[in-house]
Structure 1
Amino acid sequence: MGDRLFPTLGNGGYDVVHYGLTLDYVPETNRLKGTAVITARATQDLSRFDLDLSGLRVRTATVQGAKAQVARRDDEVLVTPAKAVGNGDVFKTVVTYDGIPRTLKGDDGGLEGWIETDDGSTALGEPTGSMTWFPGNHHPSDKATYDMTVTVPKDEDGDPYDVVSNGRLITEKDKGETVTRHWRTDEPMASYLAHVSVGYFEIHKGWTDDDLPVYVAIDPDESDAAADVPDVLPRIVDWASERFGPYPFSSTGAVVDHLPGLDYALETQTKPYFDEAPDEALIVHELAHQWFGNSVTPRRWKDMWLSEGLATYAEWLWEEGHGGRSTDEIFEDFYDGTDDESKGIWAFPPADPPSAGRVSDPPVYGRGAMVMHKVRNAVGDKTFFGILRTWTREHRYGNADTRQFIALCEEKSGKDLTGLFGTWLFGERKPPRM
């Protein structure tokens, strides 16, 4: 895909339209068997194409119903169809695979991929983890819809495990010794946002004021600490919808797990994942990602500041509107280094992380939010929030980059913002106080 930060992720030559994933998982052995039906459109003539897959063993592959040749090279599956695929053709690839999926340790030390929990497992994909449990084109710029059908045996006491994933629960079947759940994601999703959690959860269902279905799964070990999540979450969705535009998906919710030591949450699409009971600010951050990052997804990993900076700025807006500091005060606390989250924000320009291991470092978050605040001050509230709503409307379900955001800000404000972005977004050093 030509991504400077992650040069081996993603593959050219085709665009995935849909993933149909059928998974059989045994928590006691952590063994996974999968069938991936990948529907894609060729963007060039293809005598061969690659899929990203880490660790798991490929058993068979077919393209358009005919057996295909398969080879492995590191984290790539090289597929050679019996008959070449023509440019513009929509084609279907079916891959069967199995094994014990990997847990990866990123350059920043964080865990991702398929992670065992005390009562099952969870799959977390940012930035590379999704390739540990299904083959695909694992780059944010290739988004697709998903059907995930997961079968899990009941435990030794005959009790069923819960299976939670993105989107809507379509069917739930108890077959005596196993339980199968089918989840569907109707709107395009980047693969790093795909998610499955297997374990025991307390399920809370409800609705927002706009009649959006809410599905919250809470690990019993977090039940007391997370008791307010099912009530707080719909309020935050409604609050964000007023500021950022209509909620972009057909359902919302959350997974509150109990995974000590993970030390992060993730904006998995429609149901953000929390490793423990979250506070309101963290819920705001991950829900804001449903607009910024999930619906409007960065085109390249270096554009991640557009996702994290806006989600962080949503936290500032929430605090300002709920009895805390004003956004001006928060900005000053970040500039002075007195805010707890301000450490390291001047290490590099937010729009230019120096390496893959630093795409989630403080400049991308805190200084990214500072950029948003400077834009707001420069163009005024009415224009600023108009920019955000236009951004989420024009790029809904797609990808966008830094250049496009700057162009929109200048178009809507009628101002030349070259100096502002040059100083706060691309500047190598902390700007002097102005």
Structure 2
Amino acid sequence: MAAAVPVALTALLAASGPALAGPAAAAPARGGTVGAAGVGDPYFPLAGNGGYHVSHYGLTLSYDPGSRRLDGAAVLTARAAQRLTQFDLDLKGLTVTGVTVDHVKAGYRRDGQELVVTPRTPLRPGHAFRVTVAYHGVPAPVTDPDGSPDGWIPTDDGAFVAGEPQGAMTWFPADNHPLDKASYDFALTVPAGRTAVANGVFLGSRTAHGRSTFRWRQSEPMAAYLATATVGTFRVERYTTPDGLEVYDAVDPREAAAAAPVLKKLPSVLKWESGIFGPYPFRGAGAIVDHAPSVGFALETQSRPLYDSAPGLTTLVHENAHQWFGDSVSLTSWKDIWLNEGFATYAEWLYTEQHGGASAQKEFDKFYARPAGDALWAFPPGDPGNGGNIFATPVYVRGAMTLHELRRTVGDQAFFRILRAWAADRRDGHGDTAQFTALAQRVSGKDLRPLFHTWLLGQGKPARP
């Protein structure tokens, strides 16, 4: 059974033959069921899978930057949500050489981005099971609807691995939708002299016979798109903050001089964000600063944001704000992307306001001054319309403007209570726009339906507040 798509904001406002690629798959048993090939996301309908939930990924990977070959073994610990005679994993490209379910060989075949698995015997509802997939090949990024690369992106000394929104499936088999979050263990082997950086806490490394293996653990639940296994020739700095956070920064030497003064501010940025949003949600922190001029973006990879070049201070603030808004509290649908990007953009405005710069009101006024034909008003952030719009200006800026209008309407005391409650109540979980709207109304005691309708769903430039 596919996971349900969350309640739409409009409802709240109105009411308050592919060829076999491995061992032949057995026909589904009579009375059995087949896990859905996607969760029904309106923008990425094949993302994720139905019928089970993954609780843990164990990823053992070996990468050769010269040949760009990746060898992988993925062990997924999962639980069946229904009787399953067949289920899917998201995996694009790469060659699968074997699949087992509970250590028994399973049938499998490829169907586009789906790896279709048929266990030897049907899985009972509630049954905890383990899937192991062996695979290899030359991973390649996917191209997103907006034309940007996504996934395993090769660089001149390794790989820049950034999976939002689809790219996790380019390097490991996954239940690749934010609805399904899991813990992770990584063992990443690369040529000696290279460093492989993933999420969470660094467990150590070992070098032998010209190869180095780096081990990482992300204990808190993480959506697959936030996983990374970035490889490069990095300078590494490790330290522990006074609050006990284990910080690991990996910086390409070509970016080190420009990155140093910004990364020096990371502990103070995290302390400031913790004061505004509540306790930092993870054990690990840090940054990966790569030299990847063809990429053109940074990503809030969980616990350790990934930058394609030395970031500016506002970018550092933005990506680390996502640790609360997007990473710890994750989406239930990509349609609600403003809950990630609008919040992180407004964090930039707040940081600037509280550190001697322009007020958030001045930022709002600057953007509101744009004419009605400007791209800022091209579509409403609460309904971007398609996957090609989810990283466009309205989602970020008009999303932040929505939050500023909320702040102006309810006052600072209620506004910051709303932000902290959202991060605390849904830590390690999920949220959607309807739930955020309900929280804001409950905390403030105000009818906010007109505000959210105007700023999140209204077409064109809203009337002057």
Instruction: State TM-score, norm by structure 2.
Output: 0.90
Match status 1:371 vs 2:409: no
Q: Structure 1 stretch 342-351 or stretch 311-320: which is displaced more?
A: 342-351
Note if contact 2:194-2:231 (Cα within 8 Å) is conserved in structure 1: yes
Q: Does residue 137 of structure 1 match 2:175?
A: yes
Structure-1 residue corresponding to 2:253: 220
Summarize deviations over 1:4-38 as a string: whole Å, max 9, x none. 11011110100110000000111110000100000
Which of 100, 106, 114 does residue 76 from structure 1 map onto?
A: 114
Identity among equivalent pairs (%): 50
1:423 maps to 2:457: no
**CA–CA distance in structure 1, aligned partners of residues 163 and 215 of structure 2:** 20
Q: Look up the match of 2:99.
A: 61
Stretch of structure 1 that moved more, 259-268 or 207-216: 207-216
Q: Counterpart of 2:53? A: 15
Tell me what 2:27 maps to: none
Q: Is the 8 A contact 1:204 1:230 kept in 2?
A: no
Q: 1:209 aligns with which of 233, 237, 242?
A: 242
How is 1:122-271 mapped onto 2 (pairs within 5 angstroms)?
Answer: 122-154=160-192, 160-271=193-304
Q: Secondary structure at the match of 1:8?
A: coil
Distance in structure 1 (CA, Å) of the matches to 2:145 and 2:448? 34
Using the TM superposition, name which of 176-185 and 408-417 deviates more.
176-185
Q: Which amino acid aligns with 2:451?
A: L
Q: Take 1:359 and 1:310, find their aligned partners in 2: how far apart are those partners?
A: 14
The alignment partner of 1:229 has SS state of helix
Tell me which residue corresponds to 2:420.
389
2:160 and 2:292 in contact (8 A); partners too: no
Q: Structure 1: which amino acid aligns with 2:67?
A: T
**Residue 406 of structure 2: SS of its match in structure 1?**
helix
Q: Following the alignment from structure 1 to structure 2, what is the Cα–Cα distance between the partners of residues 153 and 202?
A: 15
Counterpart for residue 276 of structure 1: 309
Aligned counterpart, 2:321: 288
- Cα deviations across residues 210-259 of structure 1 (Å, max 9, x unaligned)? 12121111100001111113311111000000000000000100001111
Rounded Cα–Cα distance in structure 1 between residues aligned with 2:215 and 2:433: 37
In 1, the alpha carbon distance for the partners of 2:186 and 2:374 equals 40
1:101 alignment partner, SS class: coil
Corresponding residue for 1:157? none
Aligned-partner Cα distance in 1 for 2:324–2:361: 24
CA distance in 1, matches of 2:203, 2:65: 23
Deviations 1:113-155 (A, max 9, x none): 111111111211001111000001000110000001011123x
Distance 1:113 1:26 in 2: 17
Amino acid at match of 2:395: V
Q: Is the aligned partner of 1:357 residue 2:388?
A: yes
Task: Give the superposition deviation at 1:323.
Answer: 1.7
Within 1, Cα distance between the matches of 2:188 and 2:374?
A: 42
1:48 to 76, 86, 91: 86
Is the Cα contact below 8 Å between 1:34 and 1:97 reproduced in 2?
yes
Instruction: Point out where structure 2 has 5 or more consecutive residues left out of the alignment.
Output: 1-38
Counterpart secondary structure, 1:41: strand
Counterpart Cα distance in 1 of 2:277 and 2:94 = 40
Q: 1:277 and 1:189 mapped to 2: Cα distance?
A: 25
Distance 1:214 1:228 in 2: 16
Q: Secondary structure at the match of 1:294?
A: coil
Runs of 4 or more above 6 Å deviation? none
TM-superposed deviation, 1:376: 0.6
Deviation at residue 374 of structure 1 after TM alignment:
0.6
Residue 7 of structure 1 aligns with an amino acid whose one-letter code is P
Shift of 1:209: 3.4
- Local SS of the residue matching 2:270: helix
Tell me whether 1:121 sits opposite 2:165 in the alignment: no
> 5 Å matches for 1:323-334?
323-334=356-367
Aligned equivalents of 1:93 and 1:250: distance in 2? 28
TM-score (norm 1): 0.97
Note the residue ranges of structure 1 that are not aligned, 5 or more in a row: 155-159
Could you report, residue by residue, the CA deviation over 1:343-400 in whole angstroms, capped at 9, with x for unpaired residues? 5221111111111111111111000000000111111111111111111111000011
User: In angstroms, what is the RMSD of aligned CA positions?
Assistant: 1.1
2:411 to 375, 380, 399: 380
